[in-house]
Structure 1
Amino acid sequence: MPLVKKTVRARLTLLYSGLFVVSGAALLTITYLLVSNTKRSVVLRNFNADGAPLPPADFLDDLTERARAEAERQHQETLQSLLTYSGVALAIMTVLALVLGWLMAGRILRPLRSMIASIQRISARNVHDRLAATGPRDELKDLSDTVDGLLHRLETALDAHKRFVANAAHELRTPLTLEHALIEETLTDRTATLPQYRSLCERLLELRQQQAAMLESLLTLAGSERGLSQREHVDLSEIAERTVTAGRMAALHEGVRLEPRIDSAWTTGDPALVERLVANLVDNAIAYNVPGGSVEVSTGVRDGRAVLTVANTGTLIPAERVDDLFEPFQRLDRSAGRAGHHGLGLSIVRAIAAAHEAVVEAEPGPEGGLRIEVTFPGVRELVLSMAEGGMAGQGLAEH
């Protein structure tokens, strides 16, 4: 036998009716006790009030006893009638309470049912739809607004995912098309020599390396967006100094000066991801520069927080386009920069910063280029926030 579905409306109806029955039963019990404890007295007229002789004492005692017995009988009948009528009234009102409770619960839950029906109609194809509930600012209106906010975030995430997939497919298809064209051109050339085939292989190998680098960047981006599973002490100044040293050869090749100003700065997080963040910023600053330009890399502490700043010269960047640079595969000029740059560097920076609860601020230089500042939470700040969430790691309070 299938179980009866216990809906919220049924539970609310039973709750309302149960409260009414308990309250009614308590009221009737109090009334019954008050009536049952009422003093029962017998009042006899004073036969001597008009001067008539008093009846004998035995007669008076017998009359009083019979009056008391009659009064007791009437009192019991009254209590019995009160109990019977009260029970009937309570039963009638219980049925009425069930009906009214069912109607009231339905009226209260009507907006909720409307929201459920709207949510059930929403899918990936119409995630732009909203509940848009109207009415007073109550819990149901707050629930509707919360669901609308969730749908907005889902729509934004889906749109970003679609753009990311489309851009990734385009970026991957371009080298594949180029490889196919190079191979087809060489195979159709009957006079191709061994050096030409060798050149083809070298070109194909270069394209394969670029694809591998892009796939690695995509994996890094996906891994950064999942957040951090554990945190360690990170010396931001040491990472920045190591990155600057590694980038000097590339800067020299591009005709760019590297100007480090490294001061001690500690934070917590994943050292490998932080190093990738610094490397991406320095690499982008060198690649998207101008001959004879400069790149300033500085670290330090401000208001108890570790701060990394990378500023470079370069072409003028419109202020309204700065945010676009942090989206995957977005470049101001698709031909700018060194080979192998696919527009993933700054999007990876943003994802790694978000995983570390860091703040990224970027502004274009007055004469061109870009200045990017990443503010990491301080060690003490992270200890307090993680301790409140029961996630404090070992040794975070040492620095």
Structure 2
Amino acid sequence: MRVGSLRQLTLGSFILALVPLIALLWQSQSDLAKVSRMTTAETRFVVTAVGIMQQLEGAAIDLERTLRQYAIIQNTTVADLTDNAIAQFASARQDLCDIIDNSENCQQLVKQIEQLRNFRTINDQLLLNAYLASLSNGVIAMRKDVDASIQARLAIQREDMTSMQAKQAWSTAMLVSVSLLLILLGSQLIVKPVNKLKQIIQILAHQRGELPPLSTKAPFELIGVEKDLHWLSERLQQLEHIRTALLRHAAHELKTPLASIKEGCSLLSENVVGELNPQQAEVLSLLSSSTQRLNTLVEKLLDYNLLLQQAEPKFTSIDPAELVRDCVEDYALALQDREVTVDVRVESVSVDEELYRRILDNLVSNAVAHGAIGRPISVNIYEQDGVAVLDVANRGKKIPPEKVGKLFEPFTRGDDPRNDNVIGTGLGLSIVSDCARLMCGDVAVVEVDYADVCFRVSIPQKEKRK
């Protein structure tokens, strides 16, 4: 199935979802019209039956009156009135029997009418009273038949209404379900490619895995966005290859002459080419120091390149005390030279040991380089609300708030001079930020009451990362 534009898909899904509702509305109108016709017919029947019944009762009263008058005054005028009354009664009976089916009392009334047609020959008053009583009972029986017929038709109408309501309920449930299914289908045609776009973005953001193939059954606009993301992925891969190649070649080219310089400095320091005077020894010392610093800068550059390609971190429970102790030992000479002590308070946490060591190295190095001489450095590791917290704090000049946001960007250096008079690379805090991000954490500059500058690294523990 080919899918058009997003607008066409939205409008088509909306119209398609309306079809069952339109069918339901049509059926409701049809049932309502049927109920209206049924109600009209039943009302007409009731009104007609009751009206004819009243006419029959009135004709029966008139007939009884004329018959009794003829029994007293036997003349032609009264006889004609009696014949007319009998004819009206017979006509009302016929009309009533036409609308009432299978009434046995109709035949009884016919016999009673035939008996009364011979009223001229009835001379016995008791016989006339018996005929009139029988006629009255027949009229009463006809009224009961009319009432029974009305009740029967009302019962049929109630059954039809109940059946119609059940049918309407089932139709409503079925058509609404179909409408919901169509809505879900239409939304799925939109949500599925959108979720695929989110998947592609996640892959690009975390730089892991291959991109799924281009969609063929999606709105044109979303396919266009997907093509742009694939192009962006190819472009990022090209840039990544260029960056990796540049760093690799730069490191190689730098390390080759650097090794020669270090070897030359080593030969000079060992007096292989002759004894050096104090001025030459001082120059050689500066040269060796600069060479060592250049080697450190190259290693950090390569270290940053490897960090950007770091795989999924492996969280294990580590001994922070040993990790901090190893880190502090690496800076023992610098700490002794600046008369700085390190206060350590740690608890067991679950982190990636290699990434956590990089964080410690860079934060301690930053504290040594920018902390006040003779003032202690604090290293605290503890767990709080399911988060492993690392605080590295030092005394010294506070960081202006407007500069905090840019501290963790690559190749960004502070304006204040370092205590070791060495120009930094601006990668240390960026490496800290990237290591924390790889462990689903973050780093920030926080205010504490026991130091002037405090960097806090928060790493969620296993429950928080799920």
User: TM-score w.r.t. structure 2 length?
Assistant: 0.40
User: TM-score w.r.t. structure 1 length?
Assistant: 0.46
